[in-house]
Amino acid sequence: MKVLLITDGIYPFQLGGMQKHSLILTRLLADHHIKVHLVHCGGDLYDQQAFDDLFNAEQLRYIQETHIPFPKLDAFPGHYLRENKRYSNLIFKKIREEGENEYDLVYAQGFTGWEFIKQRKAGKWQAPVVVNFHGFEMFQKPPSIKVKAAYALLKSTVRTIIRQADFVYSFGGKIHPLLLQEGVKEEQLLLQSNGIDESWLNDQIEPVGEIRKFIFVGRYERRKGIEELNQALELLSSSEIPFSMTFIGPIPEDKRVKDDRIHYVGEVRDESLMRQYLRQADCLICPSHSEGMPTVILEAMASGLAIIATDVGAVSRQVTTNGVLLSDPDVLLIKKAIESMCVVPAAKIEKLKQISVEMIQDHFLWQRIAEQKIADFNLIIKKQELAQ
């Protein structure tokens, strides 16, 4: 089997859950001796040696790499779509030059499969195309009028792509019915889980102290709910409840709350350092307006944290009896959830933390997920052979 895996970035050259997913999936397919042609857009930290260092020698035997810089066009409205269309066109042109008959299927992250689907519909591309948009945030509730306008620009294109793709991956939860509503057929849908490497598992969970330690991890983006979290923290600042809050990510100075109990670390790309920060905390807060199945929640669960998160995307598959699932990113709901974590007995928090680790062990380790992906791929190839 040979898979063409195309993505708009791999971690750590580009940050994000999809970028981590692309890296780990490449590793796991190679571990199963599946040939992978990985096409990605690099980044500021990218060079050939840095890429090779992401994989061991055995994995590199099965990995072919093509680096195509992501095109930057103009700043006019709709530039994101135009850039993604151009990027997909560049990938298709490059792959077509090298010979399309090498591939059993295309695994396309986000918009990268756009041109491949167009050409397949026109009868000019043979290998089936599997699309993975992860969270389908553009079809979820927007956090503001500005974001609603941005989503409106994306919806039509995404709808066309997912309807015309051979298969579409869904994280389940609230995403599955959403896709059916948008015209994707049940037989096109493949259920997936996001996953995490076993090395993240924490077998020595720290005891919970009197001061409950909360953490937020992510870039500044309106849909992540940082504004609502900030407002909740400002309300808590006037209370006598002891707590500490750490933000990891590039949070602008004007979006930071001034309080001695709140700390801003900045961007962290080193996984070992990220593990340290997470393992020192008690509870992750993820108050997003829209999500898929956030990698950061899995990392926090594996690190032994309780979770406070909003019920969006497939988060309900991650947060069950290991924390608090909020109905929406409401300021008072966030404040109440933080307060509840601060006043319940330490033993209860420790139980939530242990449940998180057990859930990862039972459902979200990459090895288990990789085996399901490979089973999916074999099914797709078999269907393609029967259709020919």
Model pLDDT for residues 235-258, shown as the tens digit of each residue:
998 888 899 999 999 999 989 999
Nearest by Cα to 275 from 293, 295, 300, 257: 300
Average pLDDT over residues 9-35: 91
64: β partners: 37
Higher pLDDT, 138 or 87: 87
Is the Cα torsion angle 31, 32, 38, 43 positive or negative in sign?
negative
Residue 210 CB neighbour total at 10 angstroms? 7
In this structure, whether the domain defined by 2-195+365-387 belongs to CATH 3.40.50.2000 is answered with: yes
pLDDT at 157 over 90: yes
Q: Which two tokens stand for residue 172?
A: 């389940």
3-class secondary-structure state, position 244: strand
pLDDT bin (cut points 50, 70, 90) of residue 141 is confident
Ranges 163-172, 273-282, 367-376: which has the least confidence: 367-376
pLDDT bin (cut points 50, 70, 90) of residue 100 is low
Q: Is residue 221 packed enough to be buried (19+ CB in 10 Å), middle (13-18) or exposed (0-12)?
A: middle
Domain with CATH 3.40.50.2000 in the chain: 2-195+365-387, 198-364
Give the pLDDT of residue 135.
75
Give the pLDDT of residue 339.
96
Q: What is the mean pLDDT of the chain?
A: 92
Sorted by sequence, the CB contacts under 8 Å of residue 323 that are 6+ apart come out as: 283, 306, 307, 308, 309, 352, 356
Average pLDDT over residues 291-301: 93
Average pLDDT over residues 343-350: 95
3-class secondary-structure state, position 92: helix
* Fold of the CATH domain 198-364: Rossmann fold (3.40.50)
Report CA Rg, the chain: 21
The residue assigned the tokens 């924390």 is 323
Q: Please state the pTM of the whole predicted model.
A: 0.83
pLDDT bin (cut points 50, 70, 90) of residue 296 is very high
